[in-house]
Amino acid sequence: MEPDRSHSTPKASSLRWQILRRALLRRPSNLGFAENPGEKTSLDKVSRRTRSGFNLIPFHVMSEVEENSDSLPKKDGCFCYTLPLPNAPKLFLRQRWEDCVDLNDFEVCKRYDIDNTGLVCQWPSEEVLAYYSMSHLDSFRSKKVIELGSGYGLAGLVIAMATEALEVVISDGNPQVVDYIQRNVDTNSAAFGSTKVKSMILHWDQHELSDISGTFDIIVASDCTFFKKFHKGLARTIRCLLKEHGPSQAILFSPKRGDSLDKFLVEVKESGLHFTITETYDSEIWRRHKNIINGDHSWTNYESDHCYPLMITITR
């Protein structure tokens, strides 16, 4: 007699493929295809992404009427962030709706040997980096700053708008992502004051960075240590970009994610750089982290190892 498998629990690998399938198909509800509630619950359990993160910077989705601009493509939305600073201007961020990908995204990834995580969503570590920068305005004032693996550029834009930095370069290795960054730079340009801001396509395996080598006071990045194949290139890029004379540092926010962060730090050390790790770097972020651990259900399937970003400071 065959065992009853009708209520067996799907494997995590199977559920991740279902996440990808759902993103590619994007079945409209008005076509009569109803999503299985049990399937959605299982997918929520395997995915650790969250729409709200630590809820550090308030935002709302803008309507096309509010935007007073040409209609956005159906795959894009415009988000208005209210920075928690006195007299701060609004920050407008154009990005993809979550779970909205197409096959061309994967073709671009294969062509340039990159990942497409910058298109997937606004990752919580990016919000943490943005919030941290607003709590340390003096650290960025009059400095040359570059953000690596920026995604849609929230943190870089916040630094450009709020800290009176001399220059902010917002970079990513994915040309599709950099297109979004440039649109967001153009949209918010009136709020940058005297800070020079530009986008840049930057691959971590580039061996020729002569135009910008050794020129940055501060490098920032968030959740960029997930893929181990990019560790060596990221460590080399940080060493290459840090200013050689005078104080300079890289500030990264990243969860441990098993041994991924540890393996990246091995590459940092082998590159001749020094690092420190700080777990409690902001009282408000730490408070929200502890609340989620202790029963706040706003972040489904939260795990410290995969979700709470540690602060890594890297110096020469």
Local structure of 275: helix, strand or coil: strand
Residue 198 amino acid letter? K
Answer whether 101's CB lies under 8 Å from 23's CB: yes
Interatomic CA distance for residues 1 and 64, integer angstroms: 59
Q: pLDDT tens, position by position, for the chain (316 residues)?
A: 444 444 455 555 455 545 555 555 454 443 333 445 555 554 455 445 555 799 999 999 997 544 445 567 778 999 999 999 999 999 999 998 876 767 788 788 878 777 778 787 788 999 999 999 999 999 999 999 999 999 999 999 999 999 999 999 999 999 999 999 999 999 999 999 999 999 999 999 877 787 899 999 999 999 999 999 999 999 999 999 999 999 999 999 999 999 999 999 999 999 999 999 999 999 999 999 999 999 998 898 899 999 999 999 999 9
What is the DSSP track for 16-69?
A: HHHHHHHHHH---GGGT-PPPHHHHHHHHHH----SSTT--S-EEEPPHHHHTS
The whole-number pLDDT of residue 297 equals 87
Interatomic CA distance for residues 28 and 30, integer angstroms: 5
The whole-number pLDDT of residue 24 equals 53
**Structure tokens that stand for 129 in this block:** 């980096």
Q: What is the DSSP letter of 166?
A: S
**Structure tokens that stand for 30 in this block:** 């008005």
Whole-Å CA distances, 192 to 53, 218, 240: 26, 18, 27
The whole-number pLDDT of residue 212 equals 94
DSSP E strands in the chain: the ranges are 59-61, 76-82, 90-96, 144-148, 167-172, 196-201, 218-222, 249-254, 274-278, 310-315
